[in-house]
Structure formats: structure tokens, C-alpha cells
Structure 1
Amino acid sequence: MNPQSDPRSFIENARRGGYAVGAYNMHNEETTEALLWAAEQADSPIFMQVGRAIIPHMGVARAFEMTRRIAERSNAKYVIHLDHGSWDEVLEAIRLGFTSVMYDGAHLPFEENIETTRKIVEIAHAFGIPVEAELGKIPDADETVNWEDYYTDVEEARRFVAETGIDYLAISVGIVHGVVPGLQQQPISIQRIREIKAATGIPLVLHGASGLTDREVQEAKAAGVHKFNADTDLRHAFRAGLESVFAQGDRQLEEAMAEGRARMVDATIEKMRQYGCAGKAAPARAA
């Protein structure tokens, strides 16, 4: 049995080494296997992320049980992480055995976000579990927005971190959820990342990393981002595998999913190399 690793060691090793660790969403058994196989082949630490797509599909408990069952049979250095969790979902995740959680109170008024996040931190820290939280708004890729209304405010970030005690802060600096083919995404603000890092002093997280250029990834790492959340590029790779098989005519679903899994493995390894975490699994210590 291969237990979960310590998420704090993942992030601390990344901070010291100047790289970032990837957090990726699984959607079924095949995508779960793809992520873990990629971690094994790339010798990379990995956050196995129970995200907003899988929770309505099978619930937090079933998603956790599926991920843990497959991960415990692997040789990967992994953490099972709850992404964008509500209050009730975070408490459920703690009971189930998640070792990393994100509480998302970004939709709440600022003072209420501070209050609820602080309570979550007190509960999670009592179980030795680090907490990620978000400040700022992240639009979908096809939305038209005034970015100054969406960026994480530096002074709010300083106060939020100081008053909640969170371990990692997910920020909005021009990133979006999803990727729209042919749509030019505006560059992210590396300067805002630097300012938030200087104000808070804690590791930062970027969601929506599928839309970033390699240059943006490298500059974001240097500015203080040590965890990237990516899903869309990997889902697209899995889908391309399915479509390539079904384009040949009536084929077995298992054959199509196997091709999707293989392509997702390759796409995930590419992300791990880009983030700099490939070859970095060894320093992680089991929880």
C-alpha cells in the first residue's frame, strides 16, 4: 500500500528548488490512471485533484475512494487534494482522509471570506492539513471582463493571509478557466504576482494553467508560484484519443479509453517537465 505524501513537503521542496508542482483533475478510472502513470514515468510529485466536474458526477466520497484505491497500487508520490471546496465539502474531505484542501470563499464578501476561511484553517490545521484559498475572481475563457475588477488586490491579499493563516493563496492575475481554440488570451500580470508574493510571503497558486505560454509559466515560477492547476489541456488530450479511435468506425469503448489514457499520460508528462517537477519525486516524504 502506497500512502499519500506530505503536501507541505511538495510545496516547500518546490519553493527551495525554484519549480512548481502540478495539480490535475481526474474524471474517471482511466484519467486517474493516466495522471498516476505520468507521475511514475516522470518521477514527479503530483496533486490528484478532486475538482468541480467530478463532484456533481460521483460525489466527494466516491471520487476520493476511486483515487485512493488506484493511487495506493501505484508507485507515485501523490497527494489527494480537494479543489474549490465548499464549507461542507471541506469538512467531508477532512473526515475522509484528504491531506490537502482548498476552501473557496472567493464569492463571499471580503470580511465573510476572511471569517469562514479562518475557521476552516483552524479545523484543518488541527488535523495537520494545509489549506489553500482563493482571492480575486477567475472568469471563464470566453468571458469579456474588465481585468482590474478581477485581479487579486495586493493589500487585500496581505490582510487575508495575515488574518486567516492559510498556507497557499490562489490568485487572479489574468488567468481564465478553460481554453477556447483560436481565442487569444491576454498575458498574465507577472508584476502583480511579484507584488502579491512580496506582500504575503507564502507560496502562490495559479489555476487555469492550461492557457499559459511556456514563458509565462517560467516567469510565474520565478515570481513565486509553486503550484499550477491544469485540466483543460489534459482533457483535450484524452478526448483526442477517444475521437481517433472512433474515427476508425465502430470500436470498443475500452479501446478508445485506452488511447485517451495514453495520450493524457504524454500530455501530463509534458506539463510536469514544463513546471520543473519532473525528476523531483524523491525528496517528498510520506505523511
Structure 2
Amino acid sequence: MGKFDPAEIVESARRGGYAVGGFNMHNVETTQALLQAAELADAPVFMQVGRAVVPHMGLAESFRMTQRELSKSDAQAVIHLDHGTYDEVFEALRLGFDSIMFDGSHLDFEDNIKATKYVVKVCHSFGVPVEAELGKIPDANTAINWPDFYTSVDEAERFVAETGVDFLAISAGVMHGVTATEPLPLDIERIARIRDVTGIPLVLHGASGVPLDDIRAAIAAGINKLNADTDLRHAFRRGIEETWALGDRQLEDGMAEGRRQMIEATVQKMREFGCADRSQNQNLAQAVTA
């Protein structure tokens, strides 16, 4: 396993006009699914320790689980803290995360700047890039007044200039989860304007359920990292349910089928994001002692 630079992976996506996928793990089988998909698609991948798995097994064990599986893989993968709290950022640094997202979007604008600026200073001293969030991403199927959620172009410009953040997650019409109604078209013009005033790679969370045309337009407008979880988690669940529908089966049979279906779903996402066949193991791997 090589050691890869998350910032270079995202910068390669920007230069190449595609987006790298950021996907969440929930157990060993889903971790294996993401890594095997990355190998099959020959794609880079952000292995994201997120808000569901941390309460389930803790940040340290989630990291160690991912690290163990990654040590057996040839995938061009990095371990990324997703929606990290202030305290989790510093624990993640001690553990050895490759990339960190500090989510201060619940704070008011000035406090978000202050907290993110300090996080960036500390993380950069360890050579770890930082993703931050500005604007708010609602949960699917809730009442949404979009002007309350959209990322402000002017605030994004100031936020990036004052914090020095490496990537910025923005709100432009995406949701966490998949809505039961017709999804709102992405605000592509807003994405392009934020790209122009910030000059850094942008991130969209909540890519599950977003029409492919919108995904492609968002990438063209400046999105270079796309986070998706729900579609992949549903694929894993479908494999389990289809197995158990056949009658009494071992739990492992269901998880194996869930893993297989999640691999297929993840490879499809990588193709849609344009990062399939973009792995750069030879160019980005840095020599490390086994």
C-alpha cells in the first residue's frame, strides 16, 4: 500500500475535469466493497469515516478497521474524517488520518471562520489538508426554504481567503439522503461563481439520487469531490434482503451479497463522477516502510 496525497488527488481531478468520490464505510464488508470497487474501476477514492460509523464503533476503531483493509489493498485510497467535530479533528490527527473535514457549518459565520482557521493551521502543520463546509445541507424529506441553506458567494470568498482551507463543501441544492419527491435541480450558476471567487476545489455532499446530467454540470462548474452514501448503503441492504428472502441463510451470506451489490453500485458512481480509470498509483505513491 502506498501513501497518497489527498490534495494532489483532488487537484488531479480539477485538472482532469472530473470528481473523486468520497464514500462512507459502516462495517468491514462495506469497507471492503469500496476498496474493491476502487481497484475494479481503477479509481482514486476517499474512504470516509462518517457520522454513522463513529457512534457505532468509535473514531479510533473506525480508523483502524479502514487502515487494516487498506493495508491489503492496491487501491489509491485515503482515509478521510467526514463531518468531524472540533474534538474529533485533533483525535484524527493523533490517529493518522490522511485528510480531515471540519464541519463548523452549525456555527455562525464569524465563529465558523475562527474555528476553521485554527483547525487549518494545526492540520497544515502536520501536512494534512482540510475540507470545511459553508452553508447548510438539509436532510431529505424535510421542509426546506432553500435561501436559508444555500452557500453565499460573497461569504465563500471571504471564508476561503481568511481560513486557508483546501476544499470547500457548499450547499447548492443537494440533500443528505434521497428525497421521495423530484429532486431540486442544482444551482449550477452558484457553483461556478463560488469556484471563480475562491479558486479552490469544491465539494458536494449528498450526491445520491442526483440526476446524472446535474452531476456532470456540477463537475463542469467546479465540483471536484462528490460525497455519496445512501445509494451505496441501499445497494448493500438490497443484497441482504434478497438473500434472506430466499429462506433461512447465514448472516455472512447476506453480507457477502450486500458487499457484491455495493461494489457494483460504487463502480457505477465512479464512472458517473468521471474518476474511473484515473488512479495514479505510480505517480502519487510515496515510498513508505512496510
TM-score bracket for this pair, using the shorter chain length: over 0.9
Alignment RMSD, CA only? Answer: 0.9
- Alignment partner, residue 250 of structure 1: 248
- Alignment partner, residue 16 of structure 2: 17
Task: Provide the C-alpha distance between the structure 1 equivalents of 2:116 and 2:285, rounded to a whole number of angstroms.
Answer: 27
- Alignment partner, residue 97 of structure 2: 98
Task: Provide the C-alpha distance between the structure 2 equivalents of 1:138 and 1:109, rounded to a whole number of angstroms.
Answer: 15
Work out which of the residue numbers 171, 187, 194 in structure 2 matches 1:189.
187
Q: What secondary structure does 1:185 align onto?
A: coil
Q: What secondary structure does 2:193 align onto?
A: helix
Q: What secondary structure does 2:79 align onto?
A: strand
Q: What secondary structure does 2:183 align onto?
A: coil
Q: What secondary structure does 1:134 align onto?
A: strand
Task: Provide the C-alpha distance between the structure 2 equivalents of 1:198 and 1:238, rounded to a whole number of angstroms.
Answer: 38
- Alignment partner, residue 73 of structure 1: 72
Task: Provide the C-alpha distance between the structure 1 equivalents of 2:9 and 2:209, rounded to a whole number of angstroms.
Answer: 23
| Deviation, structure 1 residue 146 | 1.0
Query: Where does 1:213-252 land on structure 2 (aligned, <5 Å)?
Result: 213-252=211-250
Q: Which amino acid aligns with 2:86?
A: W
Which runs of 5 or more structure 2 residues have no equivalent in the other structure? none
Deviation sequence 1:167-207 (CA, Å, 0-9, x none) = 00000001000013x42111110011011111111100000
Please say if 1:37 is aligned against 2:36: yes
| Deviation, structure 1 residue 239 | 0.3
Q: What secondary structure does 1:202 align onto?
A: coil
| Deviation, structure 1 residue 105 | 0.4
| Deviation, structure 1 residue 282 | 2.0
- Alignment partner, residue 131 of structure 1: 130
Task: Provide the C-alpha distance between the structure 1 equivalents of 2:84 and 2:188, rounded to a whole number of angstroms.
Answer: 27
Work out which of the residue numbers 263, 269, 272 in structure 2 matches 1:271.
269
- Alignment partner, residue 49 of structure 2: 50
| 1:121–1:131 contact (8 Å) kept in structure 2 | yes
Report the count of equivalent residues: 285
Give the TM-score normalised by structure 2.
0.97
Which runs of 5 or more structure 1 residues have no equivalent in the other structure? none
| 1:4–1:80 contact (8 Å) kept in structure 2 | no
| 1:47–1:78 contact (8 Å) kept in structure 2 | yes
| Deviation, structure 1 residue 145 | 1.2
Task: Provide the C-alpha distance between the structure 1 equivalents of 2:86 and 2:3, rounded to a whole number of angstroms.
Answer: 23
| 1:237–1:263 contact (8 Å) kept in structure 2 | yes
- Alignment partner, residue 143 of structure 1: 142
Q: Which amino acid aligns with 2:56?
A: H
Deviation sequence 1:42-85 (CA, Å, 0-9, x none) = 10000000000000001110000000000110110100000000
Task: Provide the C-alpha distance between the structure 2 equivalents of 1:12 and 1:200, rounded to a whole number of angstroms.
Answer: 14
Work out which of the residue numbers 191, 197, 200 in structure 1 matches 2:198.
200
- Alignment partner, residue 7 of structure 1: 6
Query: Where does 1:153-192 land on structure 2 (aligned, <5 Å)?
Result: 153-180=152-179, 182-192=180-190
Q: What secondary structure does 2:77 align onto?
A: strand
| Deviation, structure 1 residue 99 | 0.9
Give the TM-score normalised by structure 1.
0.98
Task: Provide the C-alpha distance between the structure 2 equivalents of 1:256 and 1:75, rounded to a whole number of angstroms.
Answer: 26
Q: Which amino acid aligns with 1:257?
A: M
| 1:176–1:211 contact (8 Å) kept in structure 2 | no
| 1:169–1:202 contact (8 Å) kept in structure 2 | yes
- Alignment partner, residue 27 of structure 2: 28
Task: Provide the C-alpha distance between the structure 2 equivalents of 1:279 and 1:9, rounded to a whole number of angstroms.
Answer: 16
Deviation sequence 1:67-126 (CA, Å, 0-9, x none) = 000011011010000000001101000110101000000000111100000000000000
Task: Provide the C-alpha distance between the structure 1 equivalents of 2:14 and 2:184, rounded to a whole number of angstroms.
Answer: 27
Task: Provide the C-alpha distance between the structure 2 equivalents of 1:235 and 1:84, rounded to a whole number of angstroms.
Answer: 18
| Deviation, structure 1 residue 211 | 2.1
Q: What secondary structure does 1:211 align onto?
A: coil
| 1:240–1:260 contact (8 Å) kept in structure 2 | yes
